[in-house]
């Protein structure tokens, strides 16, 4: 007998529907990314993505409002992976921020063509990619949480506004990624990001010895 107020037959059904919905979304995303890598973003049509994913056109639009939204999905999935890694991190705040930068740079180096397409679409400011702004804000919030932890432990300066510091770090990361893409990946990404992070953490001025 079902407990009062609980529909025992509908709860598992909803769970199965949600799992199926996520599988379908992932199949569309994976099919699109494979096509983009083979032929380029502009050359691939939504109908071809649907054919590769074996879904109807209407199903595609249930999950993604436009083709450009598939690139925004890349940013969302990167943030989800990063959030899980930050939650699992047990080191200092500085070590966690370095880990985050390394993780993001390694992901970019694994998927350079996807990152190139994403940067190009953001620069052209296509409306369907406005969701990417939300993902950038998510990255800022993830870094701000780490900075607050560092402030609470006495590792980082307490007078800094965490979101401003996080925004500085995130903006620096995206600036380096943009330069990396524009240079056709001639920049050695991870060392440059580490040096950028050193500037953020320690500033540009030489430390002067205290006298007296």
Taking 70 as the threshold, does the pLDDT of residue 125 lie above it?
no
pLDDT digits (tens, 9 = 90+) for 159-191: 999 999 999 999 999 899 999 988 888 889 989
In three-state secondary structure terms, 125 is coil
Q: Where are the domains of the chain?
A: 8-64, 66-202
For the segment 110-131, the average pLDDT, to the nearest whole number, is: 70
Residue whose structure tokens are 């598992």 = 12
**Please, what is the average pLDDT of the chain?**
84
Long-range contacts of 76-81 (CB under 8 A, 24+ apart): 76/131, 76/135, 76/138, 78/104, 78/107, 78/135, 79/135, 79/138, 79/139, 79/142, 81/107
Residue 1: pLDDT above 70? no
Write the DSSP string, 55-94. Answer: --HHHHHHH-SSTTHHHHHHHHHHHHHHHHHHHH--S-HH
pLDDT at residue number 186: 85
Q: Pick the residue with more confidence: 120 or 128?
A: 120
| Domain boundaries 8-64, corresponding CATH code | 1.10.10.60
Helix (H, G, I), strand (E, B) or coil at 123: helix
pLDDT tens, residue by residue, 4-61: 444 444 445 568 888 899 999 999 999 999 998 888 888 999 999 999 999 999 999 9
pTM (2 decimals)?
A: 0.76
Pick the CATH number of 66-202 from 1.10.3720.10, 1.10.10.10, 3.40.50.720, 1.10.357.10: 1.10.357.10
In the prediction, which pLDDT does 205 show?
75
- The Cα 210–Cα 164 span in angstroms is 29
């Amino acid at each position: 007998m079902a407990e009062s107020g609980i529909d025992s037959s509908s709860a598992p059904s909803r769970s199965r529907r949600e799992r199926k919905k996520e599988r379908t979304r992932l199949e569309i995303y994976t099919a699109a990314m494979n096509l983009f890598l083979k032929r380029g973003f502009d050359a691939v049509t939504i109908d071809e993505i649907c054919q590769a994913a074996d879904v109807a056109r209407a199903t595609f639009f249930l999950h993604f409002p436009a083709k450009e939204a598939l690139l925004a999905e890349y940013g969302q999935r990167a943030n989800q992976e990063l959030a899980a890694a930050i939650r699992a991190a047990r080191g200092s705040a500085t070590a966690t921020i370095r880990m985050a930068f390394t993780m993001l740079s390694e992901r970019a180096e694994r998927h350079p063509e996807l990152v190139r397409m994403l940067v190009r679409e953001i620069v052209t400011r296509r409306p369907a990619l406005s969701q990417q702004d939300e993902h950038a804000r998510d990255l800022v919030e993830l870094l701000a949480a780490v900075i607050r932890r560092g402030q609470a432990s006495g590792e980082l300066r307490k007078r800094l506004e965490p979101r401003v510091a996080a925004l500085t770090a995130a903006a620096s990361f995206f600036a380096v990624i943009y330069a990396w893409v524009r240079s056709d990946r001639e920049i050695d990404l991870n060392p440059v990001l580490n040096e950028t992070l050193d500037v953020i953490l320690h500033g540009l001025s030489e430390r002067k010895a205290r006298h007296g």
